[in-house]
Structure 1
């Protein structure tokens, strides 16, 4: 039986495992966190459930809708309220054309990876942070930060954000001229940094929209959404705003203590929504995403290593920082891995 190691259990990694569900390939997934789905993350606090990274799964071409329903309709919803826009001066305008589908789950976006992986025989090893990679003959072995060994494997698929993947390639022992080119190409992918704030209020915020997005990139807030629009996420009579600050603001204030920065964020939200009561939430939370979204795709250089069983997947491979983009790239790369291993056996 052929074997594959997938590093990362985000949408891309879970998609790749799902693509190989009906094959004889033995799949092992190494995931550094305790959960799955990467930046499509869900957290629970004070009776609320909220998606504090990616906000929903978009479907630009209907194939995502078909897949999500195949994974199970229980708890699946499509957000009804629209997305509106605002500019650098805080002027809010109706509609931005993003309303084809906005899928989520009552139990949170992590359901995407959970449901994909549940339909596979893949072994997921959580709490396993990869430290180095070795090429031994025709196979790949990995060592984690605790000194544990994994492998050898016939193929390796790396799915972390490009900067983290580049760091792994820097700790890869493989005497091959392709490695320096891979490190350079992957390491050159630029990323936007985003700091998310979660602001809770013990009252309802009555607005005709689900979310607001800043299109001219001139406001300190990049995205603001009402988590109570998602069934099962916020108790009746309460509100929870997901506020994702702009990349420029987030980079400048990434390490500011939460207790200090949340006041500024609250005032900025109150000003944008013209409601002074929003300046002081009764509780709050935050999450920094150092590598939130890629600004462009990696070059085709990454495909050069496929003949050696080394593959890459993620939103940075296609250059679109969306959950569906990572998902389908993972599925497509999983299929390529399957073709490679089938050919290798022959």
Structure 2
């Protein structure tokens, strides 16, 4: 076990790798407590799996290819969204949602308030990121701790970023393990491998039906070995598409077994299964295919976050808290509350 008794030295500057929701929550909450936080993001902008991808038809905008919606059980999550995302960037997705039981009978999903970003899921993370020190297009290659016990981050272009009292890592576990190993932190990587389960892949197909798909639902979970989820992205609030864009998510086990399948075969197989499961009669005319290598945690239970107190390294992400969007908030929020309770966030800083 690597977690050790924390040395009560208050943190002042924190580097955060990844700007999905967990990274953004950590940055916002650290700033609110008077600390400095810098986000490093390998992509062009924030979002992580709250991602939207531009569609082949420019007039149609984009489709949510990652998280399809989120629920709110923790009042603190709602408060955070209201404060930092703003009410204009998210709204309730109302519609008919069904699942297929073990006997193959379709039933309505449990009533719930389902929320999405408006006009796309990434609108939420874009809004939260406004004003943060976010360095996009920077892929962190390694971490080094100097004789002052301050962290330096080296990117793939050779740039060095520092000095940081602590580092928060929010990428999926496989990428985090690679980063730790490349940083000479194999003991931390080994501990992480013991504590967490691996992520499963997900093939995603976005398909356009110019005259509608002919399905009588907005979202569905079929009993299928290929298809785990299908949703009418055009039915979400703020979308102004002509026709219907549907998002099809492959079953995690099937996706895992077919990660190297030709995207055209993925498209054909998931579309055929969608039509079979729904009885939809629409004729598609455009497609987009995306592969998520790290989409869903295999385990439903996890520690929430990880803090390696002898190194001042933390891990946060939805994969550490059940895999839901709200889990990303709970993970990062729980981490910051822990740092407060451990005396690593100075009362002097909080009062500034």
Contact 2:305 2:317 in 1 (8 A): no
Shift of 1:29: 0.4
Match of 1:111 in 2: 123
Counterparts of residues 1-346 of structure 1 (less than 5 Å): 2-45=12-55, 46=57, 47-48=59-60, 49-70=62-83, 71-87=85-101, 91-97=104-110, 99-118=111-130, 121-137=131-147, 138-173=149-184, 179=188, 181-185=190-194, 188-214=196-222, 218-236=224-242, 238-278=243-283, 281-296=284-299, 297-298=301-302, 302-303=306-307, 305-318=308-321, 320-337=322-339, 339-342=343-346
Contact 1:199 1:285 in 2 (8 A): yes
Cα distance in 2 for residues equivalent to 1:80 and 1:17: 31
SS at match of 1:235: coil
Shift of 1:229: 1.3
SS at match of 1:254: coil
Cα distance in 2 for residues equivalent to 1:221 and 1:202: 22
Shift of 1:322: 0.7
Map Cα deviations across residues 189-230 of structure 1 (whole Å, 9 max, x no partner): 22221111001010124544321114x6x4310001111111
SS at match of 1:267: helix
Shift of 1:328: 2.2
Match of 2:3 in 1: none
Coordinate RMSD, CA, aligned: 2.7
Shift of 1:34: 0.6
Equivalenced residue count is 332
Compute the TM-score of the two structures, normalised by the length of structure 1: 0.87
Cα distance in 1 for residues equivalent to 2:42 and 2:162: 17
Contact 1:182 1:302 in 2 (8 A): no
Structure 2 unaligned regions, length at least 5 = 1-10
Shift of 1:132: 0.9
Structure 1 stretch 8-17 or stretch 79-88: which is displaced more? Answer: 79-88
Shift of 1:259: 2.6
Contact 1:192 1:293 in 2 (8 A): yes
Structure 1 stretch 135-144 or stretch 330-339: which is displaced more? Answer: 330-339
Cα distance in 2 for residues equivalent to 1:133 and 1:311: 13
